[in-house]
Amino acid sequence: MFDTALTLADLGFLAKGAAMTLAVTAVSVLAGTVLGVIFGVVRNQAGPYWSIPLTFLLDVFRSVPLLIQLVLGNAAQSIMKLGWAPFTTSCVVLSLYTAAYCTEIVRGGISSVPLTTRRAARSLGMTWWQDMRYIVAPLATRVSLPSWIGLTLGVMKDSALVLWLGLIELLRASQILVTRLQEPLFILLICGAIYFIISFPIARLGGYLEKRWSPND
């Protein structure tokens, strides 16, 4: 008969770790998406004077492993004596990391809108802002949504690396319990199930919206 030393208090500890994972993910994805939209528009619309330096900077965040970015970000804030808490440092680094990928998603979505459609909108007297708001944004969102959902799920899993800054998120909480209870398979199975429970609604929501907004409907 299966026996475990895991208690309700331990499950509560895992739940607190899951809450930390959700908090870091939510803040990072929200801030990264806002920055990604701004940078994506700049990459698509601005000339080389702005787009080339921005592209190089974002390539750095896409190329350097996230763990190294977290360690360097934590060291930089310490050197500059900013006094950030590990949660703040984690969110800042993850937000920039998310923005680097979201920028390309937004740029690709904008580029997918036919140039003839945009010219037609401008010929009707629409301003650039009206064109972006009423024509480009709805069409680009349909194209960008699947990639953005994938990015969100990826950031949620990558947020496990913030344990190196001392945050007790879901994976770190499970490691602590494994060390104490010596039941790695069972505890990691629960950890994986929690990740699935968190991720599944996001994936299903993305699938629902993608189907609802499909141009073939």
- Which residue has 């993910």 as its token pair? 25
**pLDDT for 108-133, tens place per residue?**
888 888 888 888 888 888 888 888 88
Task: For residues 75-95, give the mean pLDDT.
Answer: 92
Percentage of residues in the chain having pLDDT higher than 70 = 96
CA-nearest of 59, 83, 93 to 164 is 93
Alpha carbons 162 and 166: distance in angstroms, whole number: 7
Q: 26 pLDDT band (50/70/90 cuts)? A: very high
Residue 1 has pLDDT above 60, yes or no: no
Ramachandran angles phi, psi of 101, nearest 5°: -80, -40
Which spans in 46-85 are helix H? 48-63, 66-79
Per-residue pLDDT, 127: 83
Q: 10 pLDDT band (50/70/90 cuts)? A: confident
- How much is the pTM? 0.88
Residue 139 has pLDDT above 90, yes or no: no
Q: Which fold has domain 8-212?
A: MetI-like fold (1.10.3720)
Task: For residues 179-205, give the mean pLDDT.
Answer: 89
Helix (H) or strand (E) holding 14: helix 8-45
**pLDDT for 145-164, tens place per residue?**
888 999 999 999 899 898 88
CA 214 and chain centroid, separation:
24
**pLDDT for 167-176, tens place per residue?**
888 888 998 9
- CB neighbourhood size of 69 (10 A): 18
Q: Indicate the residue type of 45.
A: Q
DSSP conformation class of 46: S
Residue 206 has pLDDT above 90, yes or no: no
Q: 3-class SS at 167?
A: coil
**What rounded mean pLDDT belongs to the chain?**
87
Per-residue pLDDT, 216: 56
Percentage of residues in the chain having pLDDT higher than 90 = 38
The residue extents of the domains of the chain are 8-212
Alpha carbons 29 and 97: distance in angstroms, whole number: 10
Angle between helices 48-63 and 8-45 (to 10 degrees): 150
Name which residue leads in pLDDT, 51 or 130.
130
Task: For residues 193-202, give the mean pLDDT.
Answer: 90
CA-nearest of 62, 60, 29 to 155 is 29
CA atoms within 13 A on the CB side of 161: 19
Per-residue pLDDT, 74: 92
Residue 51 has pLDDT above 80, yes or no: no
